[in-house]
Amino acid sequence: MSDRTAAAPGFPITHRNRVRRLHERGRYDTAAIYAILDAAMLCHLAYVIDGQPYATPTAFWREGDRLYWHGSSASRMLRAQSEGIPVCLTVAHLDGLVLARSAFHHAVNYRSVMAFGRARRIEDPAEKLRAMTAFVERFFPGRTAALRPPTTQEVKATAILGMRIEQASAKRRIGPPVDDEADYVAAVWAGVIPLATVVGEPSPCPRLPEGMAPGPDLAAYAPGRRLDAALAKNRAMMPDAEP
């Protein structure tokens, strides 16, 4: 596992990752990019197979400057990506509805990342099993020790892919609406309606033994807590957590 943070604070800016529209909202430093990636469980992967573009939603995780995702070994998407095709991985968080005094200036507050690289399929069984364990531990620290180990067939049926981030950029909007000066006198409510994904009350499996409560691996997912805060708490518990 490599990590750029020790050598350089950001990713190179090229024609591929340069933020052109509202460029002042763009960021290329690893701190901003990693924070947005780590606040998400779901990404979208864009790629081209035989001239046809696809975009696939999937769960993912990050280790240093590498991103990983998994799926079925029979997946056409994963088979194509394992050949080293270029992919673009995106993450977006919707943080608020921005209501202005004109339709033109309505907006949303958001955080987003676009990361570029080439997918590589992990073939070594030991490395694949380590990655499968890392996937669970990323979101539920300590849970692996209590689970039934994966069978040989389950490992075989699972494809793990990863990519080193070659270029990436983050983009973010925060703050209130920005109206034309003449519109501030308009008699219409303007402002921001905050939005967040929030943890709800656990719903136990109907076949769970009576009296069994969630373990410490789920401690971060307290009802009412923001999901990104829970993920940040889990990441801080990882042995290789970055400062």
**pLDDT for residue 219 is more than 90:** yes
Handedness of CA 96, 97, 100, 106 (dihedral sign): positive
pLDDT digits (tens, 9 = 90+) for 12-30: 898 888 888 878 888 899 9
Asked if residues 46 and 67 have their Cβ atoms less than 8 Å apart, the reply is: no
Most confident range (mean pLDDT) of 19-23, 157-161, 220-224, 234-238 is 220-224
Helix axes 227-236, 30-38, angle to 10 degrees: 110
List domains and CATH numbers for the chain: 4-236 (2.30.110.10)
- Confidence (pLDDT) at 109: 98
pLDDT above 70: residue 8: no
Model confidence, pTM: 0.88
Q: 């992967």: which residue's tokens?
A: 45
The mean predicted confidence, pLDDT, of the chain is 90
